[in-house]
Amino acid sequence: MNETEELLNALFQAVVSGNIQEAKKIAGKAVSQGVSADETLEKMTEAMHVVDRKYERKEYFIVDVASSASAMREAFKIIQPHLQMKSIDIAGKIVMGSLKGNIQSIGKDIVTATLRAAGFQVVDLGVDVSPDAFVDAVIQEEPQIVGISVSVDETIPFLKGVVDRLQQENLRNRVKIVIGGPAVSEKIRKKYGADAYAKDAWDCVRKARNLIDELRKDMVLRSD
């Protein structure tokens, strides 16, 4: 095992164990030694997936998940300026937020930073965003995509409010909806009429690129 692998594995363990100071220390060391920030972020995301599974198996409690999320957040602050994802050919504008009732921001923050690193302009609405606030932002910002993070099961029905209001404002054919987060899935996407489900930050970049492609093709067809 080389030194880079050792660093990334140590960071993985620090996040899983919720050791904030250790995670920050290792992230700083990784940056100083030229370890790819993209690889570092990917390793931390893998760690949070392990934490999620431990929580599902009742091996971890909410306090453990919160500690791990804090460790990742602090380490992420260190590597964020160094993210160098290859910019995609087609960039666009995205309105991003955590849906009403969702106050955990770490997942959304990671996706937002990854999208920006990939060349997108992202308007971050923050957490606990109401359906009306999403639609008001669409009206004001005129994005191609709305990204909605959902981490709490009980808040999923608020997705309907976003879709319904976009239809009421005659905006549904002008903007695509991407959902993500531990509370949603491809099944939820279909149920509520979103355009894509992204399982992680890199998947969100791919889905956003594809959806903007679709929008531009639709515009060409409508203009013919």
**pLDDT tens-digit map of 45-61:** 888 878 878 877 889 88
Are the CB atoms for 197 and 179 separated by under 8 Å?
Answer: yes
Which residues are within 8 A (CB) of 130 and not within 5 positions of it... i.e. 6 or more apart? 100, 158, 161
**What's the pLDDT score for residue 88?**
42
Q: 40: number of CA atoms within 13 Å, CB side?
A: 32
- Percentage of residues in the chain having pLDDT higher than 70: 93
Q: What is the pLDDT of residues 94-126, one digit of tens each?
A: 999 999 999 888 788 888 877 886 778 899 999
Which residues are within 8 A (CB) of 168 and not within 5 positions of it... i.e. 6 or more apart? none
Residue intervals in the chain for CATH 3.40.50.280: 93-223
Pick the CATH number of 3-82 from 3.60.40.10, 1.10.287.3510, 1.10.3720.10, 1.10.1240.10: 1.10.1240.10
Which residues are within 8 A (CB) of 137 and not within 5 positions of it... i.e. 6 or more apart? 95, 97, 123, 125, 143, 146
* Single pTM value for the model: 0.69
Residue intervals in the chain for CATH 1.10.1240.10: 3-82
| Higher local confidence (pLDDT), 147 or 41 | 147
Pick the CATH number of 93-223 from 3.40.190.10, 3.90.1150.10, 3.40.228.10, 3.40.50.280: 3.40.50.280
